[in-house]
Amino acid sequence: METLKKLSLLAALAIIMIACNQDVKKEEVKEVEVEKTMKQLKEELTSKGFKIFDYVDEKTKDTVIMQQYFIAFLKRGENRSQSKEEADSLQALHMAHLGKMYELGYADISGPFGDDGDIRGITIYNVPTLKMADSLANADPSVKAGRLVIVVHPWWAAKGFPLR
């Protein structure tokens, strides 16, 4: 009888341990992102080849890091004679390309303009060189097909500031 009590107690303990272990597994473990120091951020960016400079905001006394990005203007190309089906297919490929650029961390924001002008939209590339931004922008299927042409310019913005 004593052995049966011990086995029952061990079984109960095992069930409790399994239940506790499952509860721990159910909880998501959130990683705490430690903010980098300005020095660490500057070293990281420059080691990757980005051009930066910093200044102290007189009002807040915060150090602001300015980073060079590249803004690609997507202009109306000369080859716009595609059928509706071809144009729709190119648009889907264009959107997939921009999505891939965003997923890979090469582009931070893209979007069309709201008018029907020659400049159709923009993409802001978060890459260290003009050559890389130009290469990525020109890999767009709509550019390759001549439906769009790309003009890329260096552009400076404060690192980490959100759009409002």
Domain ranges of the chain: 1-30, 38-158
If 0-12 CB within 10 Å is exposed, 13-18 middle and 19+ buried, where does residue 74 land? buried
Q: Which residues pair with 63 in a beta bridge?
A: 56
Residues in contact with 57: Cβ distance below 8 Å, sequence separation at least 6, in sequence order: 63, 64
Mean pLDDT estimate for the chain: 86
Residue 162 has pLDDT above 90, yes or no: no
Query: For 38-158, which CATH class?
Result: alpha beta
Query: Chain-centre distance of CA 107, in angstroms?
Result: 6
- Find where tokens 């490929």 sit: 93
- Position 26 scores a pLDDT of 46
- How do residues 39-65 score in pLDDT, each as one tens digit? 999 999 999 999 999 999 999 999 999
What global pTM score does this model have? 0.75
Residue 29 has pLDDT above 70, yes or no: no
Within 10 angstroms of residue 139's Cβ, the number of other Cβ atoms is 13
Q: Which residues pair with 157 in a beta bridge?
A: 67
What does the block give as tokens for 136?
Answer: 């990525």
- How do residues 96-140 score in pLDDT, each as one tens digit? 999 999 999 999 999 999 998 999 999 999 999 999 999 999 999
